[in-house]
Structure 1
Amino acid sequence: MKIRKYLYIYFTLLLSFVGQAQQNTIEISGKVIDNDTKQPIEYATISVIDKITKKPITGTITKPNGTFSLKTEANNFYIEVSFIGFTTKTITKEKLEGNKINLGTIFLSENQQSLDEVVVNAEKSQTEFKLDKRIFNVGTDLSTTGASALEVLNNVPSVNVNIEGQISLRGSTGVQILINGKPSVLASAGSNALGTITADMIEQIEVITNPSAKYDAAGTAGIINIIMKKSEKKGLNGSVTLNAGVPNSNSFGLSVNKRTEHFNIFSQIGFGKRTFPEDNKSINTDFTNNTTISSVGSREMNEKFNNFILGTDYHINALNVLTLSGSYAYEVEDQNSEAIYSKTDATNTVTDSWLREELTEADNPKLRYELQYKMNFKRHKEQSLLFSALGSSFKKDESSVFNNTTIVGNEPDELQEARTDYALEDYTFKLDYTHPFLDDFTLESGSQYAINKVTNDYAVSDFENGTWVNNPDLTNVFNFNQNVLAIYSTMAYEGDIWGIKLGLRLENTDISTFLKTSSLENNKAYANLFPTLHTSYKFSENMSFQAGYSKRINRPGLRELNPFSNIRNNFSISTGNPDLQPEYTDSFEITSIHKFENGSLNTSFYSRYTKDIIERVNTFEDNINISKPENIGTNRTSGLEVNGKYNPLEWFTLNGDLNWNYFNRKGTFETTSFDFEGNRWSANLTSKFKLPARIDLEISGDYRSRFKTFQNDISDNIFADIGIRKKIFKGKTILNLSVRDVFASRIDESSTTQPTYYLFNSRQRGRFITFGISYGFGKGEAMEFSGQRIR
């Protein structure tokens, strides 16, 4: 930018020198505006050109507000207004008003060909290796293209974004997205408000696969932190999206982002309707009395939703930023299901058969809000103080009716109803301080307080003798409260070649559960230290080695603690366990990272040792299976993970993930040993093609191997997705077609074989086809995936 500025000043002085020989003075003024963003253009060149010689007579450049004023003594001229990356505008001599010519507002439009030339010769995005993370610096090869944040993420090694906008890190979708180091409404699951962020608003992207003590000790597949640029004039960006699909997947979304010198205002509105079908089968065989109860059925969940997001970043000055944002969503669900149940005897003769029908309706309002203040310091650009407060609430008002109609046998028809009143509140307060010193050292310290409150009021009634009678065995109010207070500190040394980072996090957890009807209360309080250690060694700019250790925790949530569940299938019941203890994991990882000319390759060896591992245990009686989570021992897992991204040709990119692990389980449950060992692996391969006529094609395939748990055998799974995207009108409009589970081969199956019983369960959702069109306005291309519900 400085070189461009000096060239403009030099050119202006040269033009002014040429024009000194003229005499009759005419004053010319006006204002130059970007036609797309409606923002003033600074340093645009205004040239007065002689009509005969076609040589410049005089000229000037625009001020920060886009205005200009110059004088000339020529009388036979025309005017050229130009700026790099924009189409030059020629203006013939206007009518004289005395000795003044007011050109008014002059609009310049981007020159797409010129922009393409800039991209070819621009500074390329680069990845640098840090102690516990990799940093992808967004260069002008991306920031000048107008691409969305989702497209930028697709260029980051180890990160993949499919055509539907789903983000995965090293093949896993359980990744947390942060904005400027904190959770944000912009990055909340399902909002896809990332589409309102363009590449030129992003400074860098941090990828963290083994989080340090600075982050929650609760497990996650990794963290992607998007660092935004500060105090940039970025104008207006936005998109309108319309989607339609089979089964029903219709939605509309409007996303807008307005960025000025001091404000970044973002908003999104969306609404739609979706249908999720499902086919399911189950078999319960009792070897003691030689009876089997099987079911074959289908379920269809219809969902209507609308959501709204509004927020702003206020750059008080170059060092202080204040953020305030919120989102609201409202969903209406209805669920219909039918299943044929059959009871057979030892000769496989059907003795009883009935149709079970379900009709469920639910309303789900959701609210999320955040306040954040960040202060940077003049002493060092990395020194900062960050305070954030986040809150959210979710409610579910659900009612269900279950109707059993006898087909074969003498069993009477049955009618049941269930009601659920569910309310959740979450609050998180964070304070983080970063202090660099002595060039190569950094101290981080901070605290966090998280509050989680849940109330689940569940009731079941049976229709007997013409009246509804409450079923006390299936009715209760379950309250869950969890407070976690954490403090942490890390110290890091990072030289040019080698670095080390030590961290320690203390988390104090208070949990209380209460079953109101039966007056059963369960309180737990425990404090844990979570040490972390990371080190790195850089062999070269393209080859790096990282190693890390962290202690993690997996606290059981409401579904695992709540002893009451739904009665959708009375012969296969899933419950919670209020006595459940958290899992603790020691995680070790060694990673080599290799960048080469056309791609990157990451290889990780890992080992994880988990105590008090949580696994569901089946108990079986009278053809009824009850599944309940228990802490049943230890698990040691060792594995290899390979992730690569290869771009052999400009139009072809290949992403691949392979994860293999061996596990060894040890433990005893109710005096029975269940020691066993096994292995499992998964693989994903995604091919991306840039075809002529600005068409993108994406084909991906997944395979997940068969594996076993304490009692269950989980079948393998293979499926494929395909997507195609077409950009038109210089990228302002995108047509998108995606097919998930192309061959309808994704079937989730599990079986349990025990001496006294056999269980089988199968579920399949089938093929989903979605077509979308997105139109982008303002600066940049259309930003996809904006009309989805907030989950």
Structure 2
Amino acid sequence: MKQILLLTFIFGIFFKAQAQFPAGFGGGAQKSTVTGRISAVILDSITKQPIDYATISLINVKDNKSVNGGVTDPKGKISLQNVSPNSYKLMIGFMGYKTKSVLVTTTPSKPDNNLGNIYISSSENTLADVQVQGTKAVIENKIDRMVYNAEADGTNAGGDATDVMRKVPMLSVDVDGNVQLRGGAVRVLINGKPSGTMASSVSDALKMIPAEQIKSVEVITSPSAKYDAEGSGGIINIITKKSNAQGVSGTVNTSVGTRQNNGAFNLTAKTGRLSLNTALGGNFAYAQNSRVVIVNNTQLNNGGFNNISQDGYSKWSREGLNGSLGVDYDFNAYNNISSNVKFNSFSNGGPGESAFVFNNIVQRNISDMDMSFNNMDWNIDYKKTSKKEGEEFSLSAQLSTGRTPQSFSNTLIPEGATVGNTTIRNNTSKNNEYTIQTDYTYPFSKSSILEIGAKGIFRKIKSQFDVSSQDFDYNQDVAAAYGVMSFNLTKKLKFKGGLRMEYTTINFNTQANGIQKNDYLNLFPSAILSRTLKGNATLKLSYNRRLQRPGQNYLNPFLNDSNPINLMQGNPYLNPELSDNLELGYSTFIKGSVINASVFYRRTGGIIESSLTTTSGNTPLTTYINVGTGQTYGFNVFGSYNPKPKWTLMSNLGLNTYEVFNNASNLSTGTYLNYNIFARSAYGFGKGYNFELFGVVNSPRRTYQGKTDAMIFYGASFKKDVLNKKGSIGVNCLNPFTKDLHIQTVNNSVNASGSVYQSQNVYYPLRSFGVNFSYSFGKLKFTEKKKIKNDDVKQDQQQGGMGGVQQ
């Protein structure tokens, strides 16, 4: 009841503020004149290629003063907003081209004016050898984030989101697809919003998204108080491809390979102020054998031993389908409403066979598993702007609902026998999440901006077991409010700081202890100080406090015995992680080259990790615990260099320490060094031919109880533009000289029964070859709308799904 009263109070304040919004933040009447937009596409007059970063100025004809302006995007497009009806001159300028002036007029009855294609000519005397490069940079560096433009990287074709994430600077991805940012846990969003599938397993959710649907990946290392406090390492936001242009436009992508097949289709229809957008994607991975070898040795306190081993394979297939339907309508230049429905359906599993040895007794196990994920996310967003540039009020609501039915069977057959005992397990988890959010931005000036907002999240998780008495219900409600202020201390020194409050209430039931409750209040400050240096260089110092709540797979007490000698179970009594983060960053541009370097420190309390223990029958059991307090020091450097105009070299090196101190045992793991290396080389031969190479190295990963081997991925792609550069066809490969990726994980632990040693060797079939094709039609314009962002739950970062071997 306390959180409901708090949320009601917060939203009451914002609804009162919104009711006064038409008069502006500081009062005064707002003119009723409807403004519109002026849009155009700037092209080279000879090559007909788009001009990227052309400078556009809108000049009032009456007084010859500039009233608006901007630069074109990689497609040569420009859209000037909030233009009052009048007569103007559109001035177009770009280095090496003649400045061009175009007369344009808008009226109250027709406030929008689309000028279509505008051609500008080179100022050089000879134009035969002029080439316009409209390729977007693969990496962009911004004040609080680094952006990886996946659509500009040809090596992504034919993969899924997991393959894309492996090439993003500062990220490390294990073989199951679990992601870390500079050694810390992350919150993964899609278009700024959570997905119901993410609540179950990040690794499985990433496998559902074809790489061809991804426009870019934002790595946010210094989130302000405006963001949910989730993610001790930061936030990852995956932006998918969208379009918003007059008429009909779309893209088609398909890939066929030895490991995986993908298909994606996007279509947009826009007329006037109404826009409809739909997308459909699918993927299918062939069933391939993944070998797993596990050795468990338990030395009991009474002097005895319990030895268990496994050698076998699983032949899993994977298939998924995702789609979305969105509508967007501008009532006028100040009021917009949009809605989007997104669904995901995913199936993962298959048969397997292993030889088990229990203390020298040999048995054969015949297994089968089916893990399904079905999710739907529906959001409605309203946005109101004013004639004051930058002022904005928004109100958003979202419903996320997910179902994860899982079933598996094991038949243990003694040596020499033909039949055995069969065990069948079923579990269906339901995850419903309701969110309402409001935000308001007011610019006192171009450099002084106030942001305030409030949010409520209501989660209900229910897990239904074979036996109804073991059902698990988990309810979590979060009420939040924030305030952020940014301003210039001097011409070169900028500051952005804020405070976020989150009040969390939790209640859940367990079979052993009945209903349990837990309430807590947290404050999350954030601050960024940025200074501009000579030569386009920037120095940044930031601090923020973050939180990591355990997600569904961490909490669910369902005993997963899909592997009888490697049981898994969640822990509903986990506490959230709390971390303090400090970062010093430097970035510069030197003759077209980009250099970004940073050092950071993170202190995290209540770190959540997997824990190896045993059941009462001395069978190995993996669960999750708060292992202790960790300190991490780290360094990251990214560089991009062009030895020649058509040749790009890119590399990223990340280093961070790992150390955890356990308060209960008064023991420390000691300090270990982790690293990840990414390198890329891309070369354009002209006439639409492009070749790329990449490689990724992730160091051995340490945990409180053990270590996982290093992982190496490498690949190449060759692509040719076709159909007047509206399409492309290419080939790609991944780890062509290595059939399987061998990863060993070793864990050691001590419990009440004795000491436990576990060695797990997995051989993943990673080598693949593929052919891909893509085609774009119509006029594309990418836009990003303000959406709800739930970034406050730690997802399954250490195990894929509910355990077992995955490809």
2:410 alignment partner in structure 1? 402
Matching residue within 383, 391, 402 for 2:391: 383
Q: 1:284 aligns with which of 277, 285, 296?
A: 296
Q: CA deviation at 1:391?
A: 1.7
The answer to whether the Cα contact below 8 Å between 1:184 and 1:370 also exists between their aligned partners in 2 is no
Query: Which of 242, 245, 256 lines up with 1:244 in the alignment?
Result: 256
Determine helix, strand or coil for the equivalent of 2:151: helix
Query: Do the aligned residues in 2 keep the contact of 1:751 with 1:759 (CA within 8 Å)?
Result: yes
CA distance, structure 2, for counterparts of residue 641 and residue 482 of structure 1 = 36
Q: CA deviation at 1:334?
A: 4.4
In structure 2, the residue matched to 1:151 is 151
Q: Is the 8 A contact 2:377 2:400 kept in 1?
A: yes
In the alignment, which of 424, 429, 434 is matched to residue 427 of structure 1?
A: 434
2 CA distance for matches of 1:744 and 1:629?
Answer: 33
Matched AA of 2:763: Q
Matches within 5 A, 1:449-528: 449-459=456-466, 476-494=470-488, 495-515=490-510, 517-518=511-512, 520-528=514-522
Q: State the 1:310 CA deviation.
A: 0.8
The 2-side partners of 1:161 and 1:493 are apart by 39
CA change 1:512–1:435 in 2 (3 A) is same
Q: Which moves more between the two structures, 543-552 or 562-571? A: 562-571
Q: Aligned runs of 1:623-642 on 2, under 5 Å? A: 624-642=619-637
State the match for 1:558 in structure 2. Answer: 552
Shift in Å, 1:636: 0.8
Which residue identity lines up with residue 476 of structure 2 in the other structure? Q
Q: Distance in 2 between matches of 1:581 and 1:282?
A: 31
Counterparts in 2 of 1:433 and 1:781: CA distance versus 1, 3 Å: closer
Q: Does 1:336 align with 2:351?
A: yes
The residue type equivalent to 1:432 in the other structure is D
1:21-47 deviations in Å (ceiling 9; x for gaps) = xxxxxxxxxxxxxxxx9xxxxxxxxxx
- Cα displacement (A) at 1:416: 0.5
> Within 1, Cα distance between the matches of 2:435 and 2:404?
22
Instruction: Give 1:360's aligned amino acid.
Output: M
Alignment of 1:357 onto 2:373: no
Change (3 A) 1:372 1:666: same
Partners of 1:326 and 1:738 lie apart in 2 by: 33
1:613 partner SS: strand
How far residue 407 of structure 1 moved from its aligned partner, in angstroms, is 1.9
Alignment of 1:708-747 (within 5 A): 708-742=702-736, 743-744=738-739, 746-747=741-742
Deviation (angstroms), 1:585: 0.3
With over 3 angstroms needed to count, the CA separation of the structure-2 counterparts of 1:542 and 1:115, relative to structure 1, is farther
Q: How many residues align?
A: 641
From 281, 284, 305, the counterpart of 2:320: 305
Cα deviation, 1:452-509, whole Å, max 9, x if unaligned, reads 21111122xxxxxxxxxx7x9xx72111211111100011113531111221000011
- Structure 1 residues not aligned, in runs of 5+: 9-36, 38-59, 66-81, 88-112, 137-148, 200-204, 345-350, 460-469, 783-790
Q: Give deviations 1:245-287, integer Å, cap 9, x for gaps.
A: 223x334432112334413321112345323542211001234
Q: Deviations over 1:326-363 (max 9, x none)?
A: 1233344442111111245xxxxxx3211111122355
3-state SS of paired residue (1:555): strand
* Cα displacement (A) at 1:421: 1.6
Q: 1:304 to 1:294 in 2, by over 3 A?
A: same
Q: How many angstroms apart in 2 are the aligned matches of 1:259 and 1:420?
A: 44
Show the counterpart of 1:774. Answer: 774
- Tell whether the 8 Å contact from 1:132 to 1:546 is kept in structure 2 after alignment: no
Matched-pair contact (CA < 8 Å) for 1:198–1:780: no
Going from structure 1 to structure 2, the CA distance change for 1:649 and 1:184 (only over 3 Å counts) comes to farther
Q: Following TM superposition, by how much is the alpha carbon of 1:627 offset from its aligned partner in structure 2, in angstroms? A: 2.0
Once residues 207 and 626 of structure 1 are traced to their aligned partners in structure 2, the CA distance between those partners, rounded to angstroms, is: 35
- Taking a change above 3 Å as real, the CA distance of residues 501 and 227 of structure 1, as seen in their structure-2 partners, is farther
User: What CA distance in whole angstroms lies between the structure 1 residues aligned with 2:127 and 2:271?
Assistant: 25
Q: Deviations over 1:704-751 (max 9, x none)?
A: 222432221222222222233222122223223333333245333211
Q: Deviations over 1:375-401 (max 9, x none)?
A: 11102x211112221222111233322
Q: 2:592 maps to what in 1? A: 598
CA contact (8 A) 1:310 1:325 kept: yes
Distance 1:237 1:502, change over 3 A: same
Correspondent of 2:375 among 357, 362, 366 = 366
SS in 1 for 2:659: strand
Selected match of 1:664 from 655, 659, 675: 659
Match of 1:270 in 2: 281
Q: What's the counterpart of residue 259 of structure 1? A: 270
User: Which residue matches 1:69?
Assistant: none
- Between the aligned partners of 1:718 and 1:327, the Cα distance in structure 2 is 34
Pick one of 613, 618, 634 that aligns with 1:619.
Answer: 613
C-alpha contact 1:681 1:705 (8 A) present in aligned 2: yes
Deviation at 1:543, TM superposition (A): 0.2
**How far apart are the structure 1 equivalents of 2:440 and 2:719?**
43
Check the 8 A contact 1:702/1:720 in 2, yes or no: yes
In the alignment, is the contact (CA less than 8 A) between 2:297 and 2:308 conserved in 1?
A: yes
Which deviates more from structure 2 when the two are superposed, residues 721-730 or residues 169-178? 169-178
8 Å contact from structure 1 (residues 86, 114) kept in 2: no
Whole-angstrom CA distance in 2 between matches of 1:86 and 1:547: 42
Deviation at 1:673, TM superposition (A): 2.8
Contact (CA 8 Å) 1:163, 1:724: kept in 2 or not?
no
1:161–1:502 distance in 2 versus 1, CA, 3 Å:
farther
8 Å CA contact 1:480–1:558 kept in 2: the answer is no
8 Å CA contact 1:719, 1:745 repeated in 2: no
Tell me, in whole angstroms, the C-alpha distance in 2 between the residues paired with 1:641 and 1:131.
16
The residue aligned with 1:100 is none
Greater relative CO, 1 or 2 (CA 8 Å, sep 6+): 2
For residues 127 and 657 of structure 1, the distance between their equivalents in structure 2, rounded to whole angstroms, comes to 11
CA radius of gyration, larger in: 1
Structure 1 residue 703: deviation in Å? 1.5
**What CA deviation, in whole Å up to 9, does each residue of 1:120-149 have, x standing for no partner?**
6x999999987645799xxxxxxxxxxxx7
Partners of 2:270 and 2:512 in 1: how far apart? 56
| 1:210 and 2:222 correspond | yes
Residue number in structure 2 paired with 1:676:
670
Q: Which residue of 2 aligns with 1:751?
A: 746
The residue number in structure 2 matching 1:418 is 425
SS of residue in 2 equivalent to 1:569: coil
CA distance in 2, matches of 1:178, 1:84: 35
Deviates more, 1:605-614 or 1:357-366: 357-366
Identical pairs, percent: 23
TM (norm. structure 2) is 0.71
CA contact under 8 A between 1:733 and 1:781: conserved in structure 2? no
2:506 partner amino acid = I
Q: Aligned partners of 1:169 and 1:234: how far apart in 2?
A: 33
CA RMSD of aligned residues (A): 4.2
Distance (whole Å) between structure 1 residues aligned to residue 374 and residue 454 of structure 2: 30
TM-score (normalised: structure 1): 0.72
Distance in structure 2 (CA, Å) of the matches to 1:693 and 1:437? 50
One-letter amino acid of the counterpart of residue 377, structure 1: S
Alpha-carbon distance in structure 2 between the residues aligned to 1:545 and 1:279: 49
